[in-house]
């Protein structure tokens, strides 16, 4: 699947967004930007709806990363995960494309350098109702699972702790839409992004909302070294 904006040739989108931001040719408004903790589990489960073996996982990694495959497999051994598909999804979530945590960090930094307020988040409720329930697969906080918390009831019912998180997220988002600063009553302060640990992790329960460093969690220095 290839989906995204096609830039150039007219006044609607004359430049790729990253290039426009680097050149200062964009509207300077506050930005809320983030992903989910297990983004790519949705896409991996659609591509591999049936279990794969550790040998198949290794073959996929070798076909994808070539000379760097040994380093990747050392960082993400199949034995560390309950399912080789989860290992594959973790790789792709960390650094596998536009939805990855490392590219989100790049975007946060780019926008920060451009001088606009950035509010970064990562939705992290691994018990959220999944977009697609694949039998025998742990969907976790896959792509789109945050939507039920912003549009209650969209994908399924929430338990009381999840409902409290939903109320807080709706308040954050509504406040941001109203005045450019996300805030919610009786909830942790959402920091403006200045460094890699200024990402707000969103999960239910006591302490579920807290700052996190997705650069460290997703081993972005490793990926940048390849």
- Do residues 101 and 218 touch, judged by C-beta distance below 8 A? yes
Tell me which residue of 108, 72, 66, 99 sits closest to 88, measured CA to CA. Answer: 72
Report if residue 10 sits inside a domain: no
Report if residue 13 sits inside a domain: no
Domain that holds residue 106: 31-225
Total number of domains constituting the chain: 1
- CATH number for position 74: 3.40.50.1820
Q: How many CB atoms lie within 10 A of CB 107?
A: 20
pTM of the entire predicted model: 0.94
Report if residue 86 sits inside a domain: yes
pLDDT of residue 1: 59
In this structure, what token pair is assigned to residue 184? 């919610």
- Do residues 215 and 102 touch, judged by C-beta distance below 8 A? yes
Report if residue 53 sits inside a domain: yes
* CB-neighbour burial class of residue 127 (10 A; exposed 0-12, middle 13-18, buried 19+): middle
Alpha-carbon distance 135 to 55, whole Å? Answer: 22
Report if residue 191 sits inside a domain: yes
- Do residues 154 and 148 touch, judged by C-beta distance below 8 A? yes
pLDDT tens for the chain, 226 residues long, are 567 667 887 888 899 888 999 999 999 999 999 999 999 999 999 999 999 999 999 999 999 999 999 999 999 999 999 999 999 999 999 998 889 999 999 999 999 999 999 999 999 999 999 999 999 999 999 999 999 999 988 988 999 999 999 999 999 999 999 999 999 999 999 999 999 999 999 999 999 999 999 999 999 999 999 9
Alpha-carbon distance 172 to 150, whole Å? Answer: 10
**How does strand 199-202 pair with strand 210-212?**
antiparallel
Alpha-carbon distance 116 to 33, whole Å? Answer: 12
Report if residue 20 sits inside a domain: no
Report if residue 12 sits inside a domain: no
Q: How many CB atoms lie within 10 A of CB 69?
A: 16
Residue whose structure tokens are 């950035």:
118
Report if residue 55 sits inside a domain: yes
């Amino acid at each position: 699947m290839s989906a995204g904006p096609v830039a150039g040739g007219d006044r609607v989108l004359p430049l790729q967004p990253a290039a426009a931001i680097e050149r200062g040719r964009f509207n300077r408004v506050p930005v809320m930007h983030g992903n989910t903790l297990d983004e790519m589990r949705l896409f991996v489960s659609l591509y591999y709806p049936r279990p794969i073996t550790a040998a198949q996982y290794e073959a996929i990694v070798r076909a994808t990363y070539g000379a760097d495959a040994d380093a990747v497999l050392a960082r993400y051994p199949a034995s560390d995960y309950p399912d080789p598909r989860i290992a594959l999804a973790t790789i792709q979530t960390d650094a596998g494309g536009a939805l990855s945590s490392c590219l989100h960090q790049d975007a946060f930094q780019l926008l920060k350098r451009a001088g606009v307020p950035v509010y970064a988040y990562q939705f992290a409720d691994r018990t959220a109702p999944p977009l697609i329930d694949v039998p025998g697969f742990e969907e976790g906080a896959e792509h789109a699972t945050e939507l039920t918390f912003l549009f209650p009831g969209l994908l399924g019912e929430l338990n009381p702790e999840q409902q409290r998180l939903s109320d807080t997220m709706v308040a954050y988002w509504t406040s941001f839409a109203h005045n450019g600063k996300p805030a919610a009553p009786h909830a942790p302060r959402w920091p403006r992004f200045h460094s890699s640990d200024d990402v707000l992790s969103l999960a239910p329960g006591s302490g579920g909302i807290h700052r996190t460093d997705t650069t460290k969690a997703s081993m972005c220095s490793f990926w940048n070294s390849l």
